[in-house]
Structure 1
Amino acid sequence: MSAGPELNAGVAQRLGRLVRRVQADARVPAVSAALHRADRPLWTCTVGGTGNTVGPQTQFRIGSVTKTFTAVLALQCRDDGLLDLDDPVGRHLDLPAHGELTVRRLLSHTAGLQREPFGDVWDTLHAPDAEKLVAELDRAERVLPPARRFHYSNLGLAVLGQLVARLRGGSWAEVLAERVLNPLKLTDTTAIPGPAATTGFLVDAYSDEAHPEPPTDFGAVGPAAQLWSTATDMARWAAFLADPAALDPAGLVLAPGTLDEMRWPLTTTDETLWGAGFGLGLILIPQGERVVHVGHDGAMPGFLAAVYGRRGGDGTAGAMGAAVLGSSGTATELFDLPHRLLAAAVEHDPAEVEPWRPGPPAPADLRGLLGRWWGEGFEYAFSWHDGSLRARGVGDPPGRPPAVFTPLPDRPDVFRTVSGREAGELLRLTRDEAGAVVRMHWATYRFTRHQETFEGYDFRAGS
């Protein structure tokens, strides 16, 4: 997909100022940020540096953003028929304990498994290898019942990484490179830091001294936190998570419908605030006005990362993603920055409004049903747009998506709701002797041309 005109100079300056302000206020030795969108060239900004030049190709540790890659690998296995999301992991791995936990629960952090592998890995900085990780699972606790609530677990994603490796017949890193990184051309994303990797720091709370953090290899816990990458690669990855069809039109990595499934919220991260949700390996942060940012944050010794794509809302461009990577382990202001960059880009440089163009007419046998219908005492408008039958409540707000129907080839006058209200349910048409549609049933509720009670009383007829 070719990019459009350059980002407006004023907008680029505004975005750059946001990055520089956070770098200065949060005292981050180095920050690299990037914004990807289908209608503009890639925008990047790097600030700082500690003895080595920092640029768009500088690698940072991305920590738990790694989990989004492991989640995609797991969904690839599902789509290829190698597993079901409701399979217990013990069906595919020989485990001494916790084999009854399902793939879906591990992906959504609702399995109740303890956060880290057995032992004090954050004291020793020595993570177990694959054999030890599995062997010591019987020493790891189930701290909550499955499905009780959200409980973040690096151990759970590490187990899924071992599952993917076994099903594909290679190491997790090999499978990731072959099945995700190479097809999406994420050439600067690696499991081992390259020569362009920067150093991570702990910045002293009461002075300007920055203490280098030791490099760490997380072994078998790598599927939860191992990767290194650049802001440019991660902005592209965020755009893929939000709009896969734009970056992977052939669905070589994952079908768009599967990403839809991953983005559906399965739990909230806080029972009272409801400010963030978790899907299948993805964090979902609502932005208001039917806009959601989808991605993940990451933290490792000396590094923080935040990688999010934007979906929905007026002015949002296709394939829109932002990434912010920083070489400080404590500058949590970095986590909010990609959301601010995405919002500022949409506000000050919105996507062009696509002109409406006439299209082909509705099929002859459906034209008579278009227009207003009543169901459950409420009025709905049925229409034909973009080659499909649609319906929306007459009082729905403009941003609410319509229900979309597709015909069942083996059942005349029966449609499946494929998205929107009552997704999955059937719409059945009833015709009179002349072939006119006189009644419909949607999710078994009766729809008529005029408002009726459930007993069939027609207010217009008065009887």
Structure 2
Amino acid sequence: MRAQLAVQPEELLPTTRRALLHRLAVGQVEGRLPSVVGAVVRGGQTVWTGARSMIEGHAPDENVQYRIGSITKTFAAVLVLRLRDEGLLDLADPVVRHLPGVVKPELTIRQLLTHTSGLAAETPGPWWERTEGTLRPELADVLGEQPAKHPAGECFHYSNPGYALLGALVERLRKEPWGDVLRREVLAPLGMTRTALLPEMPHAGGFAVHPWADVLLREPLTDTGLMAPAGQLWSTAADLGRWAAFLADGNAKVLSADTVAEMRRPVADRADEGGAHGLGLQVLRRGGRVLYGHGGSMPGFVAGLWTSEADDVTVILLANATSAPTAVLADDLIRIVAEQEPRMPAPWRPSSSADPELLALTGPWYWGAAPQALRLRADRDLELTPLGNPTRGSRFRPEPDGSWTGLDGYYAGETLRVVRTQAGAVSHLDVGSFVLTREPYGPQAAIPGGVHPQGWQAG
């Protein structure tokens, strides 16, 4: 968790704050944005906010609501994962098990979360984002007569109706409206009092900016009904700062740290954007950094929440224009903080205790003739690092049965076991069936296929 990785954040330096505000101001001018609010979260706290507006001497603050569009999907995903963690569903469940008859039997909940369901990107007309949800009173109206555009599970294809189904799933299992569940189970525990399905004053008005003239057109403020889980929410920079902190570390009242880490894990490739999609979260590679979060847009509004975990920097952007290049602006704000105030690592400290049996496992091991180093970390974690060829390394967490599970890298999800002789001595390590021994192809080592009886030879 973050307390183990970073020190308590301090207020950003004046030069950094000035650089952030300048970049935001340039973004407002170049993007021709009626208004824009930006925020930076570090160490679980909002450490900077700034704003610019078309109105002289007036700019919105971090408590003004904007529509956040598809960032709403991250909230919908959290509600579904709460149901999973409670044992009320499995992500491998066919959707029809909980919503009979709405889609083909092979489509799963996981596929809806990761946009691999093959469902259409949008609803049948009219344009759902600019029309009232009363035009689509039933799920059949959201899906249309031919909702599938690709076979389920075959490819990534972003689907707004897919998240309408997830909202309906939550309603079916909780037996109450999706918005009420969200407010009680997520928003209230996290103190997000300014996040809602419909706008509450003070809030920004939504505008379209003419592509060839500096004039504005007001966009409608709609209640999208069943499509709400795909993009309905309104929120503020302050509330989204709390959401960013939750997505980084979890919260025992909502979801565990392990489950939010699962949300961030790439699952479905997004080759078009150089990234992937997790369980409700986008994972993108931009500007040499890996970012997780989500973008959002609705008529009159654009939004973004992007985190560079390596830099411990989250940037939040909210603007009231139908289209704007906020991705580049977000990348630049992350870069400014990361370059001007690099993440301060937590000081090294020795472990409070060390198990002699685990200490005896540390040091060099060999996969065939390839040397590996096994290190003991805090909380009985192990780290396996190839020497000379930095591939197939992983961290491992201990399990109650005495084994370890890989957390990342080549061995993510794989099991590491200590194999002992009948006398109790350590024979070798088994990592997903790979055998690691204390010497390279030792004559008595338990090497699959055996060791040539002549052993190592010169020439």
Counterpart position of 2:317 = 324
Tell whether 2:5 aligns with 1:16.
Answer: no
- CA distance in 1 between partners of 2:144 and 2:49 (Å): 46
1:437 to 426, 438, 450: 426
- CA distance in 1 between partners of 2:76 and 2:365 (Å): 46
2:67 to 42, 57, 61: 61
Instruction: Give how far 1:115 is off.
Output: 1.8
The answer as to whether partners of 1:39 and 1:351 remain within 8 angstroms in 2 is: no
- Report the 3-state secondary structure (helix = DSSP H, G, I; strand = E; otherwise coil) of the residue aligned with 1:220: helix
- CA distance in 2 between partners of 1:82 and 1:4 (Å): 38
The answer as to whether partners of 1:36 and 1:322 remain within 8 angstroms in 2 is: yes
Instruction: Give how far 1:183 is off.
Output: 1.1
Tell whether 2:113 aligns with 1:107.
Answer: yes
Counterpart position of 2:413 = 424
Classify 1:274/1:12 alpha carbon distance in 2 versus 1 (closer, same or farther; 3 Å): same
Q: Percent of aligned pairs with the same residue?
A: 35
Instruction: Give how far 1:275 is off.
Output: 1.1
- CA distance in 2 between partners of 1:49 and 1:206 (Å): 18
- Report the 3-state secondary structure (helix = DSSP H, G, I; strand = E; otherwise coil) of the residue aligned with 1:146: coil
1:114-158, CA deviations, whole angstroms, 9 ceiling, x for partnerless residues? Answer: 122233235961334774234664524211111221111111101
The code of the aligned residue for 1:416 comes to W
Classify 1:13/1:286 alpha carbon distance in 2 versus 1 (closer, same or farther; 3 Å): same
- Report the 3-state secondary structure (helix = DSSP H, G, I; strand = E; otherwise coil) of the residue aligned with 2:238: helix
The answer as to whether partners of 2:64 and 2:202 remain within 8 angstroms in 1 is: yes
The code of the aligned residue for 1:297 comes to G
Counterpart position of 1:171 = 177
The code of the aligned residue for 2:74 comes to T
Classify 1:16/1:438 alpha carbon distance in 2 versus 1 (closer, same or farther; 3 Å): same
Counterpart position of 1:306 = 304
Tell whether 2:11 aligns with 1:6.
Answer: yes
- Report the 3-state secondary structure (helix = DSSP H, G, I; strand = E; otherwise coil) of the residue aligned with 1:5: coil
- CA distance in 2 between partners of 1:284 and 1:193 (Å): 29
Counterpart position of 2:444 = none
Instruction: Give how far 1:461 is off.
Output: 5.8
Tell whether 2:370 aligns with 1:355.
Answer: no
Instruction: Give how far 1:160 is off.
Output: 0.7
Classify 1:434/1:116 alpha carbon distance in 2 versus 1 (closer, same or farther; 3 Å): closer
Stretches of structure 1 lacking an aligned partner (at least 5 in a row)? none
- Number of aligned residue pairs: 444
Classify 1:123/1:84 alpha carbon distance in 2 versus 1 (closer, same or farther; 3 Å): closer
Farther-moved stretch of structure 1 (198-207 vs 427-436)? 427-436
Stretches of structure 2 lacking an aligned partner (at least 5 in a row)? 442-446
Matches within 5 A, 1:10-89: 10-38=15-43, 42-49=47-54, 54-89=60-95
Counterpart position of 2:438 = 449
Classify 1:403/1:4 alpha carbon distance in 2 versus 1 (closer, same or farther; 3 Å): closer
Tell whether 2:203 aligns with 1:193.
Answer: no
Classify 1:158/1:36 alpha carbon distance in 2 versus 1 (closer, same or farther; 3 Å): same
Instruction: Give how far 1:224 is off.
Output: 0.4
Counterpart position of 1:133 = 139
Tell whether 2:395 aligns with 1:403.
Answer: yes
- Report the 3-state secondary structure (helix = DSSP H, G, I; strand = E; otherwise coil) of the residue aligned with 1:383: strand
- CA distance in 1 between partners of 2:291 and 2:453 (Å): 46
Farther-moved stretch of structure 1 (19-28 vs 114-123)? 114-123
- Report the 3-state secondary structure (helix = DSSP H, G, I; strand = E; otherwise coil) of the residue aligned with 2:107: coil
Counterpart position of 2:275 = 276
Instruction: Give how far 1:274 is off.
Output: 5.6
Instruction: With the length of structure 2 as denominator, give the TM-score of the two structures.
Output: 0.89
- CA distance in 1 between partners of 2:297 and 2:125 (Å): 20
Counterpart position of 1:121 = 127
- CA distance in 1 between partners of 2:454 and 2:284 (Å): 45
The answer as to whether partners of 1:201 and 1:302 remain within 8 angstroms in 2 is: yes
- Report the 3-state secondary structure (helix = DSSP H, G, I; strand = E; otherwise coil) of the residue aligned with 2:316: strand
1:294-333, CA deviations, whole angstroms, 9 ceiling, x for partnerless residues? Answer: 1111111111111112212xxx23xx422101111121x1
2:231 to 215, 219, 225: 225
- Report the 3-state secondary structure (helix = DSSP H, G, I; strand = E; otherwise coil) of the residue aligned with 1:338: helix
- CA distance in 1 between partners of 2:136 and 2:220 (Å): 22
Classify 1:436/1:366 alpha carbon distance in 2 versus 1 (closer, same or farther; 3 Å): farther
Matches within 5 A, 1:200-215: 200-215=206-221
Instruction: Give how far 1:165 is off.
Output: 1.3
The answer as to whether partners of 2:273 and 2:284 remain within 8 angstroms in 1 is: no
- CA distance in 1 between partners of 2:399 and 2:368 (Å): 23
The code of the aligned residue for 1:365 comes to E
Classify 1:129/1:95 alpha carbon distance in 2 versus 1 (closer, same or farther; 3 Å): farther
Classify 1:433/1:94 alpha carbon distance in 2 versus 1 (closer, same or farther; 3 Å): closer
- CA distance in 1 between partners of 2:420 and 2:139 (Å): 63
The code of the aligned residue for 2:284 comes to I
- CA distance in 1 between partners of 2:129 and 2:422 (Å): 79
1:244-283, CA deviations, whole angstroms, 9 ceiling, x for partnerless residues? Answer: 24xx2xx21111111222222222223xx56121111111
The code of the aligned residue for 2:439 comes to H
1:366-405, CA deviations, whole angstroms, 9 ceiling, x for partnerless residues? Answer: 332221010143211112111323322123659x973214
Classify 1:43/1:431 alpha carbon distance in 2 versus 1 (closer, same or farther; 3 Å): same
Farther-moved stretch of structure 1 (420-429 vs 74-83)? 420-429
Instruction: Give how far 1:344 is off.
Output: 1.6
2:187 to 181, 185, 205: 181
The answer as to whether partners of 1:65 and 1:297 remain within 8 angstroms in 2 is: yes
Counterpart position of 1:381 = 373
- Report the 3-state secondary structure (helix = DSSP H, G, I; strand = E; otherwise coil) of the residue aligned with 2:189: coil
Instruction: Give how far 1:19 is off.
Output: 0.7
- CA distance in 2 between partners of 1:451 and 1:71 (Å): 48
- CA distance in 2 between partners of 1:408 and 1:457 (Å): 38
Tell whether 2:360 aligns with 1:368.
Answer: yes
Farther-moved stretch of structure 1 (63-72 vs 136-145)? 136-145
The code of the aligned residue for 1:417 comes to T
- CA distance in 1 between partners of 2:102 and 2:43 (Å): 48
- Report the 3-state secondary structure (helix = DSSP H, G, I; strand = E; otherwise coil) of the residue aligned with 2:360: helix
- CA distance in 1 between partners of 2:142 and 2:273 (Å): 35
Tell whether 2:386 aligns with 1:393.
Answer: yes
1:21-50, CA deviations, whole angstroms, 9 ceiling, x for partnerless residues? Answer: 110111101001111112765310010045
